[in-house]
């Protein structure tokens, strides 16, 4: 019998909602990793040509760098489930708002099934897609970074916390000129994610509560 995640994967593989992405994809890059509740889920923008060819998320030098930095911070990349805001080849560009909207239900359903304790949202599109009730959903990454977001579901009117979202810089920022300051931020974000994963219990709200994080230099 197929699991809820298998059913969702099968549905995504048959999806044709984004004309341009469907034309550019050779496969749907659904995501991969262990299916265990209470763990870590990593969400990026979307697959590019490399990921499309190999059917896996976060490949290339940027993916390697992100995994190495996570491991240094005590987060096991192999224990995380890796997925994206959109699942079809964007050709390396950012996903467009209608594409994010089209794929958002699938992303949230993935999290409903996996029930992670922590989501690392790599980049503004992942952060915006997950932190829906943030007062300003058009916020830039510079504004979103430096906060964590309690994200949950309303079950019969009651708020039930599922997970905490930690927005961080996209991996491509870690392999380009001027990467040092993004690396420093990411290290702090990964340490925060580790503390949330193995320590403090999440509290609070897909309603969504914004909690400032003290990074020692003030939230931006």
Number of separate helices (H) and strands (E) present in the chain: 8, 6
Among 8, 12, 59, 162, binds ligand SF4 (CB under 6 A): 12
Helix axes 97-114, 4-13, angle to 10 degrees: 160
Q: What mask, x for binding ligand SF4 by CB under 6 A, covers residues 74 to 93?
A: ------------xxx-----
In three-state secondary structure terms, 185 is helix
Among 4, 7, 10, 22, binds ligand SF4 (CB under 6 A): 22
Contact 108, 206 (CB under 8 A): yes
Q: What are the C-alpha distances in Å from 88 to residues 63, 94, 185, 203?
A: 17, 12, 29, 33
Q: Does 108 bind ligand SF4 (CB under 6 A)?
A: no
Among 99, 150, 185, 189, binds ligand SF4 (CB under 6 A): 99
Contact 12, 89 (CB under 8 A): no
Among 8, 9, 28, 116, binds ligand SF4 (CB under 6 A): 28
Q: Does 104 bind ligand SF4 (CB under 6 A)?
A: no
* Closer of 98 and 212 to ligand SF4 (Cβ): 98
Q: Which residues bind ligand SF4 (CB under 6 A)?
A: 12, 15-18, 21-22, 28, 86-88, 99, 102-103
């Amino acid at each position: 019998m197929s699991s809820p995640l298998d059913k969702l994967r099968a549905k995504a593989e048959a999806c044709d909602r984004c004309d341009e992405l469907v034309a550019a994809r050779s496969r749907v890059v659904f995501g991969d990793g262990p299916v265990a509740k209470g763990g870590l889920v990593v969400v990026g923008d979307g697959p590019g040509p490399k990921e499309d060819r190999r059917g896996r998320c976060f490949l290339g030098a940027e993916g390697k760098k992100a995994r190495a930095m996570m491991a240094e911070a005590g987060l096991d990349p192999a224990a995380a489930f890796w997925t994206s805001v959109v699942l079809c080849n964007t050709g390396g560009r950012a996903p467009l708002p209608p594409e994010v909207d089209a794929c958002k239900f699938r992303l949230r359903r993935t999290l409903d099934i996996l029930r992670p304790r922590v989501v690392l949202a790599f980049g503004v599109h992942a952060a915006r897609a997950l932190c829906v009730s943030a007062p300003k959903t058009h916020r830039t990454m510079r504004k979103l970074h430096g906060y964590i977001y309690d994200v949950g579901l309303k079950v019969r009117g009651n708020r039930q916390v599922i997970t905490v979202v930690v927005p961080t810089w996209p991996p491509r920022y870690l392999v380009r000129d001027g990467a040092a300051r993004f690396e420093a931020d990411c290290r702090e974000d990964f340490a925060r994610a580790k503390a949330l994963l193995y320590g403090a219990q999440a509290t609070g709200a897909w309603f969504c509560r914004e909690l400032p994080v003290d990074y020692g230099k003030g939230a931006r």
